[in-house]
Structure 1
Amino acid sequence: MKDFSQITDYIKSLYPEMDPVLLHCPQFLGNEKKYLNECIDTKFVSYVSHFVTDMEEQIKKLTGAKCAVAMVSGTEALHMAFVAAGVKPGEEVISQPLTFAATSAVIVNCGAIPVYVDVDRDTMGMSPKALKDFLENNTKQAGGKCINKNTGRVISACVPMHTFGHPCRIDEIRTICDEHNLMLIEDAAESVGSFYKGKHTGTFGKVSILSFNGNKTLTTGGGGMLLTDDEELAARAKYLSTTAKEPAKWGYYHKEVGWNLRMPGVNAAIGAAQLEYFDKIIENKRETAQMYKKFFDGLGIPFVTEPENSRANYWLNAILLKDRAEREEFLEYTNSNGVQTRPIWTLMYKMPPYEHCERTDMTNSEWLEDHLVNIPSSVRTSI
């Protein structure tokens, strides 16, 4: 086994308050407790709390999106994005295999079928070239719809993901989707605070989502947000996620089957407080990334940096090791010596629920799976 002690010692020096050093530990450095107490004192702790609408307004200002609908999780926000956008059971949705399982799970839980295209090695997000090649070689247009010639099914949407907060080439993907009559649904779960060509991620597609899970750059403990410029779509998502209850003074009447997926006020109170110093959170995380880059450059180990034309939030920092064997040695040593690290996700098509799904050549995804490791990325508490 190689000597990785220099790396663990350096990481521990960045986070002297943590033992062990966690991968991404939430920090509460503002008015979180104050606002949480205020929410409790109002007795309005559910989605009717003003903190929910306050947070929605703050996210709209941060991202530039016209509409924001707070949900209980990023996963359910993506679910509502699919439903409100009109993705139907039996249709196909193009995704990437290098992602957290929730992306694929939502596709399947909506009755749709994932199709996987490769990622770019530098962005770790969907490759426009792989997407274009697949569509040009395997689909046709009929009645304004994109048809998979291999299966005969309609491909209705494309869901790229901004991996670890690093924006993919989302403008190129949008152009390709427009050319092939595909809805662009952005999975921006990991990229709150990230920008591509001056625009916040999640504002390129018809609809998108953010995640505020406990380990995210901005956290509400559990929560997510649906973003769109389409007011009708936003209203539809809000209606369906609020049990599809018809407006009334006191009655209960439902014309449709809905879901109960709106973010509670107690969660939004935490998020509203974090948004007050969110610029400092991003500044802190970008500074940490620069420190890591300088350190790993000295060791000759590639550190993953933001792609061209991007300003990333550096949600999870990552390094690239020589091969899978070195990756396993590194994971064993660091996790056994007080520093939490993890490999990138197992590729979706290597897991039983998705192994039957159609896919392109996966050279870049498989290379990243073999080489990439995430390292501790929490906000350092000296902000």
Structure 2
Amino acid sequence: MVDFIQNTFKTKEFIPLHEPRFNGNEKKYLNDCIDSTFVSSVGKYVDQFEKEFAKTVGSKYAIATVNGTSALHISLILADVKKDDEVITQPLTFIATCNAISYIGAKPIFVDVDLDTMGLSPKSLVKFLEVNCELINNECINKTTKKIIKACVPMHTFGHPCKIDEIKAICDDWNISLVEDAAESLGSYYKDKHTGTYGEIGAFSFNGNKIITSGGGGVIVTDDENLAKRAKHLTTTAKIPHPFEYVHDEIGFNYRMPNLNAALLVAQLEQLDNFVKNKKELVLKYDEFFKNIDGIDFFNQPENSSSNYWLQAVILKDVTTRDEFLKFTNNNGVMTRPIWKLMNELEMFKDCQSSDLINSKYLEERVVNIPSSVIL
């Protein structure tokens, strides 16, 4: 397998998990940005990126932020999540999902994932709600804690869409706001609709390892004009627009994306279609190769989905095989990584309420990411 990956990426040197590709107009736009002297949060590339990103995913509005965590943080505020509220999410996710919930003073509730998507399970969600919750005055009340469950945050794991339409229908029935963590899924579609646009609000990330990147960066998407205006206001320190006076009408955040980052992203977004096409060509090679290896299953996109395959994943037969696999590949110059430790197993979230997490635990012990960069 190491030989196969080295031959596929055409190198005997160290092969990282996912490195960025700057093959387009990045330097041109960066130089233009520098020459303009508008390198901070005011500049033409921020506005240009927002317009082009909204067009790409099919939302009416996009608001650029400094990173995906800040985008999710603001999205939860827009969903009216407050201190001591509860937010349902999945335990199999990157820490940023739960950090954003915690910044508000809310508390996560963990519901299991589906094996075929690695994302939040609609069946587990509805079971949890029916057993543990009731609607009182049109609010979803947790019968155990007596707290309001205000929002649900499913995450599209490694760019593979979860069954987001079913999740939305359940959230609507229980009057729970749906906030999509689409950090990993730019270029992914579920039933011909882009991820991040099923809920009222969606959040994306452009960290250095994402399918397109500006080193950091994030974006909030919505079709609601009022939410878009409030997102822009909150991410620019809640300053009331004025030519020279500094008046702020609430606690805001310095979350606006700098023009330098936006210049990079405009160039990266121009290449998104080719990046996704390239990754799907890599998928075909991996899929064919792993068909001939017992005990390793290559993870393909779920039904009704068109995934960006941000990170390719394999599922090993047990935790012992996984650990041997990780040790061997990394010792031989091929970077591989296990999936995240479950959030409910971390010290700060160990007391959070959870459903039965059988599928999450199964995947935690077996999933490994393998090199997934766009091949030059």
Does structure 1 residue 338 correspond to structure 2 residue 333?
Answer: yes
C-alpha separation between the residues in 1 aligned to 2:270 and 2:110? 38
Q: Which residue of the partner structure matches residue 367 of structure 2?
A: 372
Partner of 1:155: 149
Q: Note the alpha carbon deviations across 1:270-290, whole angstroms, 9 max, x for none.
A: 110011121101100111111
Percent identity for Structure 1 against Structure 2 = 54
Q: Take 2:110 and 2:146, find their aligned partners in 1: how far apart are those partners? A: 17
CA contact (8 A) 2:72 2:100 kept: yes
Cα offset, 1:61, TM superposition: 1.0
Distance 1:142 1:60 in 2: 36
Residue of structure 1 equivalent to 2:232: 238
- Contact residue 112 and residue 360 of structure 2 kept, 8 A: yes
How far apart, in 2, do the equivalents of 1:365 and 1:68 lie? 32
Q: Select 1:326's aligned residue among 306, 321, 328.
A: 321
Could you tell me how far apart the structure 2 residues matched to 1:38 and 1:297 are? 48
Q: Which amino acid aligns with 1:69?
A: I
Q: CA deviation at 1:155?
A: 0.3
Amino acid at match of 1:85: A
Q: Aligned with 1:299: secondary structure?
A: coil
Shift of 1:17: 4.6
CA contact (8 A) 2:135 2:174 kept: yes
1:18-44 per-position Cα deviation (integer Å, ceiling 9, x unaligned): 721000000111010111111000000
Query: What residue number does 2:348 align with?
Result: 353
2:15 alignment partner in structure 1: 21
Pick aligned residue for 2:74 from 67, 73, 80: 80
Match of 1:96 in 2: 90
Q: Distance in 1 between matches of 2:279 and 2:112?
A: 28
Report which stretch shifted further, 293-302 or 186-195: 293-302
| AA partner of residue 296 (structure 1) | F
2:33 corresponds to which residue?
39
Shift of 1:292: 0.5
Deviation string for 1:102-129 (max 9, x for gaps)? 1011111111010000000010000000
The answer to whether residue 204 in structure 2 is matched with residue 210 in structure 1 is yes
1:190 partner letter: E
**Selected match of 1:283 from 274, 277, 287:** 277
Distance in 2, matches of 1:184 and 1:149, equals 21
Cα distance in structure 2, aligned partners of 1:151 and 1:88:
16
Q: Secondary structure at the match of 1:235?
A: helix
Query: In the aligned structure 2, how far is the partner of 1:335 from the partner of 1:319?
Result: 15
SS at match of 2:29: helix
2:304 is the alignment partner of 1:309: yes
Distance in 1 separating the partners of 2:120 and 2:284: 25
Q: Distance in 2 between matches of 1:22 and 1:12?
A: 11
Gaps of 5+ in 1: 1-6
1:296 maps to 2:290: yes
Relative to structure 2, which stretch is displaced further, 166-175 or 101-110?
Answer: 101-110
Query: Which AA in structure 1 matches 2:140?
Result: C
1:61 to 35, 55, 62: 55
Does 1:263 find its partner at 2:257? yes
1:55 alignment partner AA: F
How far apart, in 2, do the equivalents of 1:12 and 1:141 lie? 56
2:190 maps to 196
Structure 2 unaligned regions, length at least 5? none
Residues 1:180 and 2:174 are matched in the alignment? yes
CA distance in 1, matches of 2:256, 2:288: 43
Residue aligning to 2:133: 139
Q: State how far apart, in whole Å, the 2-side matches of 1:173 and 1:257 are.
A: 32
Per-residue Cα deviation, 1:113-159 (whole angstroms, up to 9, x for no partner):
10000000010000000000000111001111000001100000000
The alignment status of 1:226 with 2:220, answered yes or no, reads: yes
| Coordinate RMSD, CA, aligned | 0.8
Q: Separation in 2 of the partners of 1:83 and 1:322?
A: 41
Structure 1 SS opposite 2:35 = helix
Q: Secondary structure at the match of 1:29?
A: coil
- Residues in 2 aligned to 1:346 and 1:164: alpha-carbon distance in whole angstroms: 15
Per the TM alignment, residue 58 of structure 1 is displaced from its structure 2 partner at its CA by 1.0
Indicate the SS of the match to 2:221: strand
**Corresponding residue SS for 1:52:** helix
Residue 339 of structure 2 aligns with an amino acid whose one-letter code is I
Matched residue, 1:114:
108
Aligned counterparts of 1:259 and 1:195: Cα–Cα separation in 2 = 31
TM-score by length of 2: 0.99
Cα offsets for 1:326-382 (capped at 9, x unmatched): 00000001111100000000000101000000000011000001111000000001x
Name the aligned partner's letter for residue 131 of structure 2: N
